[in-house]
Amino acid sequence: MMTEDFREKFINRIICGDSLTVMRQMPDNCLDLVVTSPPYNLKNSTGNGMKDGRGGKWANAALVNGYSHYNDNMPHDEYAQWQHECLKEMWRLLKADGAIFYNHKWRVQNGLIQDRSDIIRDMPVRQIIIWHRKGGINFNPAYFLPTYEVIYLIAKPDFRLTPKANAYGDVWEFTQEMKNAHPAPFPVALIDRIIKSTNAQIILDPFMGSGTTAIVAMGLDRNYIGIELSPDYCEMANRRIERNKHESELMKFRTPSLFSQSI
Ligand SMILES: C[S@@+](CC[C@H](N)C(=O)[O-])C[C@H]1O[C@@H](n2cnc3c(N)ncnc32)[C@H](O)[C@@H]1O
């Protein structure tokens, strides 16, 4: 049961802080769903990626300049251990019919395949969804243009999709988000698909960035909890949420029939 204290501190709030520290303050079994994309440790690259902001094959990518308060450059094993601990904590917070949608990217580094199995070890991965990111430009003749990321569905035994959601299949095409000042935002449509595919009422994003998970949850009349380290992105997310609230108020005003349906 949700206590008044939990509701007051966490529900429909963006908490500015370290993800693990904040999750550790939350009670067991308090969430229905986690949707998240952690930092990928992209600056810890030996090759032709984002190393030291020099760009390489991603010279034009927004992430070349990194996140505002996080350098995304841990030794690999430390990074994998940190992300594993974050997943364990998300798991503790989930109810018996809950699930985690954990977005990441596979890569090859120094000839070694990083398929993130060191992060997801011991976790009951039920399915891997391929997110085919449409579009992109590649000027490097040594590589095919990378066009996909993965989403691990890590689910508790009682987790079920909403009726007909299974028909989406396991390869999803969504164009990358362009109209967002955050360097690595989720496409709104991707999060809309995930949340609508579940009956989740309380949804956590422990790496909230610009607040995409929150605004989609709000639009679907679900509750969100966001955690984000960077005060700049917390402000960005809160501004986006306020703008969204304002716009939905205006919509209600403009379409009385819709408004009357909702009361
Ligand atoms: C891939 S981005 C998430 C973007 C988000 N999905 C969106 O739609 O905007 C990862 C985020 O994790 C944040 N971050 C990095 N370390 C963190 C930590 N220890 N705790 C919480 N957030 C952290 C970064 O600042 C960044 O905004």
Domain residue spans of the chain: 9-262
What sign does the dihedral 238-33-176-78 (CA atoms) show?
positive
Report how far residue 155's alpha carbon sits from residue 218's, in angstroms, rounded to the nearest whole number.
Answer: 23
Please say if the pLDDT value at position 46 is more than 80: no
More confident residue, 209 or 247: 209
Q: Is 57 helix (H, G, I), strand (E, B) or coil?
A: helix
- Tell whether the model's pLDDT for residue 174 goes beyond 50: yes
**Crossing angle (nearest 10°) for helices 188-196 and 212-219:** 50
Beta strands in 17-170 (DSSP E): 31-36, 94-104, 107-109, 112-114, 125-134, 148-155
Distance (angstroms) between ligand 1 centre and the Cα of 50 equals 17
Give the nearest ligand 1 atom to 206 CA. Answer: 21
pTM: predicted TM-score of the whole model, two decimal places: 0.90
Q: How confident is the model at residue 240 (pLDDT cuts 50, 70, 90)?
A: very high
pLDDT at residue 100 above 90?
A: yes
The answer to whether the CB of 97 is under 6 A from ligand 1 is: no
Return d(Cα 173, Cα 148) in angstroms, integer: 9
**Torsions phi, psi for 31 (to 5 deg):** -125, 155
Q: For residue 187, what are its two tokens?
A: 């496409």
Q: What local confidence, expressed as pLDDT, does residue 23 receive? A: 98
Phi/psi region, residue 43 (left: phi>0; alpha: psi -120 to 50; beta: rest), is alpha
Candidates 2.40.10.10, 3.30.420.40, 3.40.50.150, 1.10.10.10; correct CATH number of 9-262?
3.40.50.150
Write the DSSP symbol of residue 177. P
Residue 55 has pLDDT above 90, yes or no: no
Residue 1 to residue 258: CA distance in whole angstroms = 32
Confidence label for 66 from pLDDT (cuts 50, 70 and 90)? confident
Mean pLDDT of the chain: 89
- Neighbour count for residue 135 (Cβ, 10 Å): 9
The answer to whether the CB of 226 is under 6 A from ligand 1 is no
What is the pLDDT, as a whole number, of residue 73? Answer: 84
- Distance (angstroms) between ligand 1 centre and the Cα of 4 equals 28
> Inter-axis angle of helices 231-254 and 212-219, to 10 degrees?
20
- Phi, psi dihedrals of residue 194, rounded to the nearest 5°: -65, -50
Q: Which of 15, 208, 235 to mutate to test the pocket of ligand 1 (most atoms within 8 A of CB)?
A: 208
Q: Distance (Å, rounded) from C-alpha 115 to C-alpha 136? A: 22
Maximum distance among all Cα pairs of the chain, rounded to whole angstroms: 60
Query: What is the structure's pLDDT at 159?
Result: 98
Answer yes or no: are the C-beta atoms of 114 and 106 closer than 8 Å.
yes
**Residue 111 — pLDDT band, cuts 50, 70, 90?**
confident
Residue 38 CA: nearest ligand 1 atom is: 10
